[in-house]
């Protein structure tokens, strides 16, 4: 048997120089593309590394700011408590020094029976809150009604008199202090 060899190419031989040139071109192109890819990747990683470092710095700043904020909030709470205490104390001092005529006169207006009149009135702003009254009443029954109404307020009768059917009494009472 004989071997038949057909050469379908236009040239009988493969030119090795052209083949080597083409292979070297392919290798050079692949090396160049790999080099470009490596350069782009390293540049991206450097950029990402810088961004990570910046992120770490920003996160650390956020943590520091959170601690400072907590410190400021604690300081504000302490100051608020101190100010509320001072304001409460000042309000208490003001209420102790405040003397309200209208409250005391309103109290007397509510407690006096019909027909009884105040002829004289003395009020003092002392810790006892004593009120001295000179009262007139058209009848003894109305005067007794007034005594009953004033008895819970440490009533002290300093004088009584009757002249032409009008009963007069000098009294001292202690105004009930709601502030104590």
Decide: 118 and 132 in contact? Cβ < 8 Å: no
Task: Provide the 3-class DSSP secondary structure of residue 5.
Answer: coil
Where does the pLDDT of residue 17 fall: very low under 50, low under 70, confident under 90, or very high at 90 and above?
confident
Q: What is the pLDDT of residue 12?
A: 63
Contacts of 156 (CB under 8 A, 6+ apart): 171, 172, 173
Given 43, 64, 98, which residue is the final one in a domain? 98
Q: Say if residue 18 is in the same domain as residue 85.
A: yes
Domain containing 117: what range?
101-174
* Nearest partner of 168 among 131, 132, 133, 121, judged by Cα: 133
Tens of pLDDT, residue by residue over 146-169, are 999 999 988 899 999 998 889 999
Q: What is the pLDDT of residue 10?
A: 62
- The single residue listed with the structure tokens 């709470």 is 77
pLDDT mean across residues, the chain = 85
**DSSP character for 113?**
P
Task: Provide the 3-class DSSP secondary structure of residue 176.
Answer: coil
Question: Looking at the domain assignment, is residue 179 inside a domain?
Answer: no
Q: Say if residue 143 is in the same domain as residue 107.
A: yes
4-18, 67-81, 86-100: segment of lowest average pLDDT? 4-18
Given 67, 98, 129, which residue is the final one in a domain? 98
Residues pairing with 94 in the sheet? none
Given 44, 74, 98, which residue is the final one in a domain? 98
Decide: 172 and 158 in contact? Cβ < 8 Å: yes
Q: What is the mean pLDDT of residues 23-27?
A: 93
Please report, for residues 24, 38, 56, 59, the alpha-carbon distance to residue 46 in angstroms, rounded to integers and kept in the order given.
Answer: 32, 12, 15, 20
Does the structure show a pLDDT above 60 at 116?
yes
Whole-angstrom Cα distance, residue 165 to residue 102? Answer: 32
User: Residue 156 belongs to a domain with what CATH number?
Assistant: 3.30.1360.100
Sheet arrangement for strand 117-123 = 117-123, 130-137, 166-174, 156-163
Q: In this predicted model, which residue has the larger pLDDT, 21 or 54?
A: 21
């Amino acid at each position: 048997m004989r071997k038949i060899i057909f050469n379908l190419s236009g040239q009988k031989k493969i030119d090795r120089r052209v083949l080597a040139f083409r292979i070297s071109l392919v290798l050079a192109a692949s090396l160049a593309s790999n080099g470009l890819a490596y350069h782009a990747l390293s540049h991206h990683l450097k950029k990402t590394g810088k961004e990570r470092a910046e992120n770490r710095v920003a996160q650390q700043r956020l943590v520091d700011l959170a601690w400072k904020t907590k410190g400021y909030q604690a300081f504000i709470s302490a100051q608020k408590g101190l100010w509320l205490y001072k304001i409460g104390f000042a309000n208490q001092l003001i209420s102790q020094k405040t003397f309200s005529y209208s409250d005391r006169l309103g109290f007397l207006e509510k407690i006096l029976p019909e027909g009884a009149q105040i002829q004289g009135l003395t009020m003092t702003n002392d810790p006892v809150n004593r009120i001295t009254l000179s009262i007139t009443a058209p009848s003894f029954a109305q005067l007794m009604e007034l005594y009953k109404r004033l008895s819970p307020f440490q009533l002290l009768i300093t004088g009584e008199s009757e002249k032409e059917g009008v009963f007069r009494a000098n009294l001292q009472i202690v105004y009930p202090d709601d502030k104590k």
